[in-house]
């Protein structure tokens, strides 16, 4: 077996985005020996790209707002498939988590009377997103990063974790990985592990996600035997850049629409008025005049349809483009230039202004942007207990995007940053409790460690095999084409066949060069997770024969009330087989159900 | 379209050289796109950092045609046509491999900044009131994406490795100024800045400001005001007398210094020098 370095802690957190940082801070502050392990440099995780804001019913702009309204918006946005208890905890605790960031140094934009300003976003009844211009994610990650440093958390940067290993009693006991700079192996043993590894979006061709979003945590949990839920629900954000091709998929914040931007087709028409679904008709404006009045008067007007939940808007854009009414580069127009002053746009949306100016040569204060759907967020993930974020594997917790349940079939914009904080903290508490209660030193078998090392180094020892870049490109093309925004049974079945072929090709991967900072090798070690999450997504998508939230089936265009009562639970068996079982959703208590009965009138 | 020639530094701590890669030009591409195509083709092990590819994370800093820039925000069609594009790693930091450097110096310095110590809340519910105009000063510095190009270009450390033990650099100076101007903060870091962070070594050439991709006025809005405040604090006799006889609202430098987490943290700069292999935690 190759030499390796080893470290022992009470709690290991894998992933240093918002959820991982928040979990680690909590565990460290509770006195546990805590370490944070991340694939990039500290402060570069995908949270940094979040733009619009963090949703929390603080009621600073609209005193009518409260947690019940936020809870209701979240459940309806998720097409009622959310874990109700997670949605409740999220809505109740988000304001405290935002105020906590302020005590740690975050500088949010302010109201006239000096409180935290809140902005409008799709699916939220009231202006609810605490924000800093359009760089809220940067503010959040920097605040947490600085807090993590202040409380003295050990951070292991540029370390890729390959596998989680369990002891003889089935408790997760070690994380095996390697340093990207040196290529040397490392093992972290601990009493409790928190996965906070973010998204799976890199399996698609056009995505807002960075190279890191390869579903490492999703896959490692599944390989360790954890239940996975709702994996078919992948959010395609309605507005990504479409041109130049090299930037296709990069996010354009929903804040553009929250601040007055509208969507138009090639005929100049605000087409979203044609796509208002019955579920949201009662609260959506049906004339442009009413929609425009709403920005200043939420009480007497209904919201414009551009601010419907993301799944609705993404599907509508897709239809317009397919109907031949798209923009020159295959998107639609997002116009804020004709609706707000240049000064306002530059102040509210500075990074969008910068991004379009520098990457596309487009001045968004003068002309419309071209935008189209981009793979953005995984609603599904590791099944967790609502209050503790415990997975179904002892010693393993999950928070943030790699966990499932909170967002149901579709996530509302702004609910991700608050999700990270609320459930990152809760995972930190529960992991600490678990670690304190765990007896005996964590132990794993040498043979299992050696097997992980051998699998990781195999591509380096092979020559004339498959290039990891070729497999990644083919995987992305497959998922984009066959498991994209609109799905159908024959294409999903074809995707499974393609995934089988890709998996075979992965067995003969070869990479050249040394182990030190070798991106080809790094990618080769990311591919197994990418294939696993792609397979989970596709299998779930086949069985969910309905259209709901982020999952749209061309062959089953309507929601199925039966399927609306179940999570699709998937497991990977020890011999690599995938199983799938529908299981009933947790039942919402009667007092919360009444919040939805108001819809009747 | 014509071909694009990219001249990329390849090597490791033992040495290296520039290698030419000739790739077909693609409309609208940035330098990072071309590097990605080189990775997927002729040089699969070409090392570079990147994450967001939208100028928001500060990972892909390099020296392009001799000037520090983000590779994801540098469009190929804005560079001189027909000439090779020279891409080199940041010179101020030790090489790990190819375009990847060991930037742990910056993380070590960040650990020595005494954190925010907020004043008592303004409202009975524990919340604060701050005016937009007051948060905007700090917000300018919080735009920093930690690309470390200001550190790279700063001549105090660019060719003077020995200064790194006593010089925080422009990135950390804006962090100090951010805290100094923070409406809630009660810490006083001025003596720490003067005695240990090397603020006096900066001689205001503004190179840092020129390369900042976020257009933060590092010199004018952070370093110069900090220098003024430090001088006021150290040498003004009235202020000195005031500190002696009046009740202090801010803590002394010694107290602020003692508050810095680096002093107690096992992975501080007091320990062995971190190796690139294990990032900032390698010394534990």
A10-22: pLDDT as tens digits: 999 999 999 999 9
Q: Say whether the ipTM exceeds 0.90.
A: yes
Phi, psi of A514 (to 5 degrees): -80, 180
> By C-alpha distance, which of A195, A220, A189 is closest to A6?
A189
* pLDDT for res B2: 85
pLDDT digits over A419-471, tens only? Answer: 999 999 999 999 999 999 999 999 999 999 999 999 999 999 999 999 999 99
How is domain A446-560 classified at the architecture level of CATH? Up-down Bundle (1.20)
pLDDT digits over B35-93, tens only? Answer: 999 999 999 999 999 999 999 999 999 999 999 999 999 999 999 999 999 999 999 99
Q: CATH top-level class for A240-373?
A: alpha beta
Minimal Cβ distance to A157: which of B53, B261, B279: B279
Interface membership of A507 toward B (CB under 8 Å): no
Domain boundaries along the sequence of chain B? 3-100, 103-281
When pLDDT is averaged across residues A320-341 and rounded to a whole number, the result is 96
Look at residue B256 and tell me whether its pLDDT is greater than 70. Answer: no
Look at residue B263 and tell me whether its pLDDT is greater than 50. Answer: no
* pLDDT for res B243: 61
> By C-alpha distance, which of B244, B206, B248 is closest to B224?
B206
Contacts of A43 in chain B (CB under 8 A): 57, 146
Task: Select from B69, B256, B281, B283 the residue whose CB has the most chain A CBs within 10 Å, as the one to mutate to test that interface.
Answer: B281
Look at residue B274 and tell me whether its pLDDT is greater than 70. Answer: no
Residues 69-128 of A with CB under 8 A from B: 99, 102-105, 107-110, 113-115, 117
Q: What is the 3-state secondary structure (H, E, C) of chain B?
A: CCEEEEEEEEEECCEEEEEEEEEECCCCCEHHHHHHHHHHCCCCCCCCCCCCCCCCCCCCEEEECCEEEEHHHCEHHHCCCCCCEEEECCCCCCEEECCEECCHHHHHHHCCCCCCCECCCCCCCCCCCCCHHHHHHHHHHHCCCCCCHHHHHCHHHHCCHHHHHCCCCHHHHHHHHHHHCCCCECCCCHHHHHHCCCHHHCCCCCHHHHHCCCCCCHHHHHHHHHHHHHHHHHHCHHHHHHHHHCCCCCCCHHHHHHHCHHHCCCCCCCCCCCCHHHHHHCCC
Q: Is the Cβ–Cβ distance between A252 and A360 less than 8 Å? A: no
More confident residue, B270 or A523: A523
* pLDDT for res A599: 56
Mean pLDDT for chain A?
Answer: 96
For residue B33, the chain A residue with the least C-alpha distance is: A246
* pLDDT for res B277: 36
Phi, psi of A350 (to 5 degrees): -60, -40
* pLDDT for res A2: 85
When pLDDT is averaged across residues B223-241 and rounded to a whole number, the result is 81
For residue B45, the chain A residue with the least C-alpha distance is: A518
For residue B284, the chain A residue with the least C-alpha distance is: A154
Tell me whether strands A396-398 and A185-195 are parallel, antiparallel or unpaired: parallel
CB atoms B51 and A44 under 8 Å:
yes
* pLDDT for res B1: 67
Look at residue A524 and tell me whether its pLDDT is greater than 70. Answer: yes
When pLDDT is averaged across residues A1-27 and rounded to a whole number, the result is 96
pLDDT digits over A344-359, tens only? Answer: 999 999 989 999 999 9
In angstroms, what separates the C-alpha of A387 from chain B's closest C-alpha? 25
Q: In the structure, what pLDDT confidence band is assigned to residue B242 with cuts at 50, 70 and 90?
A: low
* pLDDT for res B233: 74
Tokens of B256: 């602020």
Look at residue A199 and tell me whether its pLDDT is greater than 60. Answer: yes
Task: Select from A51, A356, A510, A516 the residue whose CB has the most chain B CBs within 10 Å, as the one to mutate to test that interface.
Answer: A516
pLDDT digits over B166-200, tens only? Answer: 999 999 999 999 999 999 999 999 999 999 999 99
Q: Is the Cβ–Cβ distance between B181 and B118 less than 8 Å? A: no
Task: Indicate the CATH number for domain B103-281.
Answer: 1.10.1060.10
Contacts of A132 in chain B (CB under 8 A): 139, 142
Q: In the structure, what pLDDT confidence band is assigned to residue B232 with cuts at 50, 70 and 90?
A: confident
Contacts of A113 in chain B (CB under 8 A): 129
**Alpha carbons B264 and B258: distance in angstroms, whole number:** 9
Tokens of A314: 């993404």
CB atoms B51 and A211 under 8 Å:
yes
When pLDDT is averaged across residues A549-574 and rounded to a whole number, the result is 96
Residues of A identified as active-site: 237, 257
Is it true that A240-373 and A446-560 share their CATH fold?
no
When pLDDT is averaged across residues B220-231 and rounded to a whole number, the result is 95
Look at residue A485 and tell me whether its pLDDT is greater than 90. Answer: yes
pLDDT digits over A80-109, tens only? Answer: 999 999 999 999 999 999 999 999 999 999
Task: Indicate the CATH number for domain B3-100.
Answer: 3.10.20.30
When pLDDT is averaged across residues A368-390 and rounded to a whole number, the result is 97
**Alpha carbons A277 and A269: distance in angstroms, whole number:** 18
Q: In the structure, what pLDDT confidence band is assigned to residue A1 with cuts at 50, 70 and 90?
A: confident
Look at residue A79 and tell me whether its pLDDT is greater than 80. Answer: yes
Residue holding tokens 């760089």? Answer: A135
Contacts of B269 in chain A (CB under 8 A): none
For B130-143, letters b (16+ CB in 10 Å) and e give: beeebbebbbbbbb
Domain boundaries along the sequence of chain A? 240-373, 446-560
* pLDDT for res B239: 63
pLDDT digits over B104-151, tens only? Answer: 999 999 999 999 999 999 999 999 999 999 999 999 999 999 999 999
Minimal Cβ distance to B132: which of A40, A45, A110: A110
């Amino acid at each position: 077996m190759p030499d390796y370095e080893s470290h022992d802690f009470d709690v290991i957190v894998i992933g240093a985005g918002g959820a991982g940082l928040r979990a680690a801070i909590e565990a460290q502050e509770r006195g546990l020996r805590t370490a944070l392990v991340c694939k990039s440099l500290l402060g570069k995780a995908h949270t940094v790209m979040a733009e619009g804001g963090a949703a929390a019913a603080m009621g600073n702009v609209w005193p009518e707002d409260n947690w019940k309204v936020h809870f209701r918006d979240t459940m309806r946005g998720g097409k009622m498939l959310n874990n109700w208890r997670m949605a409740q905890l999220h809505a109740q605790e988000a304001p405290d988590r935002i105020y906590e960031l302020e005590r740690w140094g975050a500088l949010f934009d302010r109201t006239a009377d000096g409180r935290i300003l809140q902005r409008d976003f799709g699916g939220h009844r009231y202006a609810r997103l605490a924000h800093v211009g359009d760089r809220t994610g940067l503010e959040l990650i920097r605040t947490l990063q600085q807090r993590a440093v202040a409380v003295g958390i050990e951070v292991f940067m540029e370390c890729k974790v390959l596998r989680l290993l369990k002891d003889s009693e089935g408790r997760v006991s070690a994380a095996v990985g390697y340093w990207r700079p040196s290529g040397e192996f490392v093992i972290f043993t601990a009493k409790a592990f928190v996965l906070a590894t973010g998204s799976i979006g890199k399996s698609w061709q056009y995505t807002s996600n960075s190279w890191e979003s390869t579903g490492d945590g999703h896959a490692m949990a599944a390989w360790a035997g954890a239940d996975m839920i709702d994996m078919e629900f992948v959010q395609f954000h309605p507005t990504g850049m479409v041109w130049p091709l090299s930037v296709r998929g990069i996010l354009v914040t929903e804040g553009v629409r929250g601040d007055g931007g509208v969507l138009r087709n090639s005929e100049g028409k605000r087409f979203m008025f044609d796509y208002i679904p019955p579920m949201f008709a009662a609260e959506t404006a049906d004339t442009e005049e009413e929609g425009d009045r709403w920005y200043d008067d939420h009480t007497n007007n209904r919201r414009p349809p551009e601010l419907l939940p993301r799944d609705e808007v993404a599907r509508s854009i897709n239809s317009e483009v397919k109907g031949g009414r798209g923009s020159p580069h295959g998107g639609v127009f997002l116009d804020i230039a004709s609706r707000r002053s240049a000064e306002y746009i530059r102040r509210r949306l500075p990074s969008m202004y910068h991004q379009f100016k520098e990457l596309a040569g487009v001045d968004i204060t003068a002309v419309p942007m071209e935008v189209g759907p981009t793979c953005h967020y995984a609603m599904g993930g590791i099944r967790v207990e609502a209050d503790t974020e415990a997975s179904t594997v002892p010693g393993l917790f999950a928070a943030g995007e790699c966990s499932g349940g909170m967002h149901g079939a579709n996530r509302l914009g702004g609910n991700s940053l608050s999700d990270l904080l609320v459930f990152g903290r809760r995972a930190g508490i529960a992991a600490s409790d678990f670690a304190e209660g765990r007896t005996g030193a964590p132990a794993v078998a040498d043979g299992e460690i050696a097997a992980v090392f051998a699998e990781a180094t195999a591509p380096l020892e092979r020559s004339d095999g498959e290039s990891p870049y070729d497999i990644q490109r083919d995987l992305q093309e497959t998922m984009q084409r066959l498991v994209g925004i609109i799905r159908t049974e024959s294409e999903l079945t074809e995707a499974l066949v393609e995934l089988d072929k890709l998996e075979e090709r992965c067995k003969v991967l070869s990479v050249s060069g040394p182990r030190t900072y070798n991106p080809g090798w790094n990618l080769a070690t990311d591919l197994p997770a990418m294939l696993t999450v792609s397979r989970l997504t596709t299998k779930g998508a086949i069985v969910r024969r309905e259209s709901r939230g982020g999952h749209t089936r061309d062959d089953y265009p309507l929601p199925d009330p039966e399927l609306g009562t179940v999570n699709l639970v998937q497991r990977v068996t020890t011999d690599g087989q995938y199983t799938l079982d529908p299981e009933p959703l947790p039942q919402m208590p009667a007092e919360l159900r009444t919040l939805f009965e108001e819809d009747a009138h | 379209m014509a071909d694009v020639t990219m001249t990329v530094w390849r090597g490791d701590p033992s040495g290296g050289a520039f290698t030419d890669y000739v790739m077909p030009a693609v409309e609208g591409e940035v330098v990072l796109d071309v590097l990605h195509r080189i990775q997927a083709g002729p040089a699969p092990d070409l090392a570079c950092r990147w994450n967001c590819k939208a100028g928001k994370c500060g990972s892909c800093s390099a020296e392009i045609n001799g000037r520090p820039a983000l590779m994801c925000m540098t469009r190929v069609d804005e560079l001189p046509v027909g000439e090779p594009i020279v891409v080199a790693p940041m010179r101020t930091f030790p090489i790990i491999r190819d375009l990847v450097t060991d930037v742990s110096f910056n993380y070590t310095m960040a650990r020595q900044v005494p954190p925010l110590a907020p004043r008592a809340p303004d409202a009975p519910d524990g919340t604060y009131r701050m005016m937009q105009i007051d948060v905007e000063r700090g917000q300018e510095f919080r735009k920093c994406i930690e690309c470390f190009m200001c550190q790279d270009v700063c001549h105090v450390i660019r060719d003077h490795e020995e200064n790194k033990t006593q010089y925080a650099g422009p990135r950390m100076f804006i962090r100090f100024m951010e805290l100094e101007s923070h409406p809630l903060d009660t810490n006083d870091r001025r003596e720490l800045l003067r005695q240990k962070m090397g603020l006096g070594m900066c001689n205001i050439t503004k190179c840092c400001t020129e390369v900042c991709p976020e257009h933060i006025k590092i010199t004018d809005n952070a370093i110069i005001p900090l220098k003024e405040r430090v001088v006021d604090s150290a040498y003004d006799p009235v202020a000195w007398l005031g500190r002696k006889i009046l009740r202090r609202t801010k803590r002394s430098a010694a107290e602020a210094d003692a508050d810095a987490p680096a002093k107690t943290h096992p992975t501080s700069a007091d320990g062995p020098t971190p190796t690139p292999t294990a990032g900032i935690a390698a010394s534990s």
